[in-house]
Amino acid sequence: MTPTLRHPSPPVVAVVTVSFSSADVLEGFLSSVPAASGDPLAVIVADNRTDDTDVERLVQAASATYLSLDRNYGYGGAMNAAVHTLPGSVEWVLI
């Protein structure tokens, strides 16, 4: 019997969050996300343009997507910007 290779399926669930000087809590949050699902997740962190250089490093270390915004759009504006970057396979968004 020949084993069947499984290709990872594209994510149908996304987790989107906003960062504004939140590196101190972001690492714990990002490390908890994989345990929330047995399926692949798209994870996006929209950075509302702070001087906190640790945010991008933490996001990349968690294999999430870092979205750098050119200014502070507020929570709703940053969420909308992040959701617009999600892959077409995503059907559900946890904010």
More confident residue, 17 or 49: 17
φ, ψ dihedrals at 17, nearest 5°: -140, 165
What is the pLDDT averaged over residues 67-92? Answer: 95
Statement: residue 2 has pLDDT above 60: no
More confident residue, 50 or 21: 21
Q: What is the dihedral of CA 70, 73, 77, 82, to 10 degrees?
A: 30
- Model confidence pLDDT, tens digit, residues 29-74: 999 998 888 888 999 999 998 777 899 999 999 999 999 999 999 9
Cβ pair 85, 16 in contact under 8 A: no
Query: If you ran DSSP here, which 8-state letter would residue 69 be given?
Result: -
Mean pLDDT of the chain: 90
| Lowest pLDDT segment from 11-20, 47-56, 60-69, 84-93 | 47-56
How far are the Cα atoms of 1, 2, 11, 41, 58 from residue 67, in angstroms, in the given order?
A: 45, 42, 18, 16, 13
